[in-house]
Structure 1
Amino acid sequence: MSPLTDAESQDRVVAVLSCERLIHQFAWHLDQGSPATEIAALFAEDGIWELPTHGLRSEGRAELARYFGSFSPQITSRRLCTNVMVDVLGPDEARGTSYFTTFRVDGPPTGDGPPPPPPVTQVGYYTDVFRRVEGEWRIARRTTTVTFAAPMPRTDANVTVGR
Structure 2
Amino acid sequence: MTPAERIMIEHECARLIALYANLNDEARWEEIAALYAEDGSMTRPTSPDEPIVGRAAILAAFKARPARKTRHLCSNVVIDVLSPTEATGVSAMALFTPDGPPRLGSFHDRFVLKDGRWLFARRRGSLSF
Whether TM exceeds 0.5 here: the answer is: yes
**Which residue pairs with 2:82 in the alignment?**
89
**Which residue pairs with 1:137 in the alignment?**
118
Instruction: Work out which structure has the larger RCO, using CA pairs closer than 8 Å and 6 or more positions apart in sequence.
Output: 2
Where do 5+ consecutive residues of structure 2 fail to align? Answer: none
**Which residue pairs with 1:30 in the alignment?**
24
Pick the structure with greater CA Rg. 1
3-state SS of 1:76 partner = coil
Q: How many residues align?
A: 128
- The amino acid of 1:38's aligned partner reads E
Q: Distance in 1 between matches of 2:92 and 2:116?
A: 27
- The amino acid of 2:10's aligned partner reads V
Where do 5+ consecutive residues of structure 1 fail to align? Answer: 107-117, 149-163
Q: Distance in 1 between matches of 2:17 and 2:122?
A: 12
- The amino acid of 1:90's aligned partner reads S
Q: Distance in 2 between matches of 1:49 and 1:119?
A: 23
**Which residue pairs with 1:147 in the alignment?**
128
Q: Where do 1:1-163 residues align within 5 Å?
A: 8-34=2-28, 36-51=29-44, 54=47, 55-73=49-67, 75-105=68-98, 119-120=101-102, 122-148=103-129
List structure 1 runs of 4+ shifted beyond 3 angstroms: none
Computed over aligned residues only, the root mean square deviation of the Cα atoms, in angstroms, reads: 1.6
